[in-house]
Amino acid sequence: MAERAGLDFDIDDGEDVDISALVKPKKDKAERPANEKEVITKTAEESGFSSRQPKKTRRRGKRSPYTQQKNVKMRPGMPELFIDVCEKLGLKDYELMEHAIEAVLQKHKLKEEQESFKELVKSK
C-alpha cells in the first residue's frame, strides 16, 4: 500500500496563496430559498442530525382553584341527573355544585354564609 504523501510540510513559499486574493465580494442573500431553515432542518433530521437545543418549557396556566374533594352519597340515578344538568347548562360538575350552594344560601337568606361564599369564590 502506498505511503501517505501528505506528511511533508516543506511547502515552497512561492506556492502559497496570498491571503488578500481570497477576500471576495459579499454574498448575495437573495439566492437563498425562503424556506431555507425548514429545508436544512428536514434534511438534517433525515441524516440523523437532531436538535440539541433545550426545549422551551411550556408555561403552566393558572392553577385551578378547585383543589378539594367531597364525597357525597346520593340516591340511585341522582349522579346521572347531576351530569345531565351539567351538560344542559354547559357547566363542570364543580361549577354546578357551587351554583347549587349559592341558590340554597339565597333561598334561605343565610347572610353570613353568603359572605363566606363570596370570599371563597373570589380566588376564581
Partner 1 sequence: MPTIVMASSKGGAGKTTAAVLLASELARQGAEKGIGVTLIDADPNQHSAKWANKEGRPANLSVVENSDEESIIEDIESAEEQTPFVIVDLEGTASIAVANAIARADLVVTLCQGSQDDADEAVKTIKLIKRQGKVLKREIPFSVLFTRTSAAITPRTFKYILNEFESAGVDVFKTSLIDRDAFRAIRSFGGTVNDLDPKEVSGIDKAAQNVKAYASEVKQKLSELMSERVA
Residues engaged in binding partner 1 (CB under 8 A): 1, 3-7, 9-11, 15-17, 19-24, 26-27, 29, 32-33, 36-37, 39-53
In the bound complex, what is the minimum distance in angstroms from residue 14's beta carbon to partner 1?
A: 11
Nearer to partner 1, 14 or 77 (CB): 14
> Rounded to the nearest whole angstrom, what is the least distance from the CB of residue 22 to partner 1 in the complex?
5
Q: Residue 103 has which C-alpha cell?
A: 341558590
Nearest alpha carbon to residue 120 among 67, 60, 61: 67
Shortest Å distance, C-beta 50 to partner 1: 7
Q: Which C-beta is closer to partner 1: that of 31 or that of 112?
A: 31
User: How is residue 74 written as a grid cell?
Assistant: 346520593
Task: State the minimum distance, in angstroms, from the CB of residue 112 to partner 1.
Answer: 58
Rounded Cα distance, 81 and 79, in Å: 5
**DSSP label of 6:** G
Q: How far apart are CA 112 and CA 3, in angstroms?
A: 98
- At 94, phi and psi to the nearest 5? -70, -30
Cβ proximity of 105 and 113 under 8 Å? yes
- Closest CB to partner 1 among residues 32, 92: 32
Q: Which is nearer to partner 1, 40 or 100 (CB)?
A: 40
